[in-house]
Structure 1
Amino acid sequence: MKVLLIKDVKGLGKAGEIKEVKDGYGNNFLIGKGFAKAATPDVLRQYEAAQKRKAEELKYELANLEKLKDELAKVTVVIKKQLGANGALFGSVSKEEIAEELEKTHHLIVDKKSIEIEKNHLKAVGIYNVQVKLGHAISADLKVDVQGE
């Protein structure tokens, strides 16, 4: 009996592989537990269509991430913070503040968890380069200009 593995099966193969197995093992264990489907032409066609659809979605997502990366490279986020008596910042600039200002002024939505600051917070006036991890091994550089009021 030929089966199409839906999930990885230890000692047999990985998801997406077609394997020849004994009828009892295929029907009772693999198909019964949801690890595989019988490898009929209809099932194989559906699986190939699903794989093609996933590949197209991934391609679309990667294109959008590259576009976002290019947009972030052109942007400088300006954050104004109150200055203390000695001229230093009163507090610090957090990832959340950067994400909010980026969305408010440039209409670019980035998760605050994907922003990586070399130090935990930006604590002085100046221009900083901040790394934004977008996913799929794509990261962008973002300039953050911290100014005092």
Structure 2
Amino acid sequence: MKVLLIKDVKSLGKAGEVKEVKDGYGKNFLIGKGLALHATNDVLKKYEAQKKREKEIEAEEIAQAEILAEKLNATKLTIKHKIGANGHLIGSVTNKEISDALEKDFEIIIDKKNITVDKKIKAPGIYEVDCKLGHAVHANLKIDIIGE
């Protein structure tokens, strides 16, 4: 019997492969445990259509991430932060502050976990931070820290 593997099966194959197996193994173990489907023409066509849709969705997400990366690379974000008597910032500018300022000023929503600050920002000046946008797309955002 031919089966379409839905999940990786050790010593048999990876998800998406069509394999020839014995009837009992296919029906009782693979199909019974939800690891495979009986490889009929309908099942194979549905699987191919699903994979095609997933690729299209992924391509669209990559295109949107690249557009956002271009926008972020061209953006200069200004953040006002309190300054102490010694000329340094009170505390430091965090990735949460950067995320909130991006959302407030430019209506760009990036999770704070996806913003990487190399060194702590403890003094006024211009800094660059890395923003992960998904699908291995990154952007460099320039930040101008000014005191208030």
Who is 2:55 aligned against?
55
Who is 2:35 aligned against?
35
Q: How does 1:51-130 map to 2 (within 5 A)?
A: 51-119=51-119, 121-130=120-129
Who is 1:15 aligned against?
15
Question: Which amino acid is the alignment partner of residue 142 of structure 2?
Answer: K
Structure 2 counterpart SS, 1:146: strand
Question: Which amino acid is the alignment partner of residue 147 of structure 1?
Answer: I
CA RMSD of aligned residues (A): 0.7
The alignment of Structure 1 onto Structure 2 pairs a total of residues equal to 148
Q: How far is 1:55 from its partner?
A: 0.4
Q: How far is 1:135 from its partner?
A: 1.6
Percent identity (aligned): 58
Aligned partners of 1:113 and 1:69: how far apart in 2? Answer: 16
Q: What do the CA deviations read for 1:74-95 (whole angstroms, capped 9, x no partner)?
A: 1111110111112211121000
Structure 1 counterpart SS, 2:104: helix
CA contact (8 A) 2:126 2:143 kept: yes
Worse-matched range after superposition: 83-92 or 98-107: 83-92
Structure 2 counterpart SS, 1:135: coil
Runs of 4+ in 1 over 6 A off after TM superposition: none
Q: What do the CA deviations read for 1:74-124 (whole angstroms, capped 9, x no partner)?
A: 1111110111112211121000000000010011111100000112x3100
Unaligned runs of 5+ in 1: none
Unaligned runs of 5+ in 2: none
Aligned partners of 1:78 and 1:103: how far apart in 2? Answer: 12
Question: Which amino acid is the alignment partner of residue 136 of structure 2?
Answer: A
Who is 1:139 aligned against?
138
Aligned partners of 2:87 and 2:51: how far apart in 1? Answer: 58
Q: What do the CA deviations read for 1:21-55 (whole angstroms, capped 9, x no partner)?
A: 00000000000000000000010010011000000
User: TM-score with structure 1 length normalisation?
Assistant: 0.97
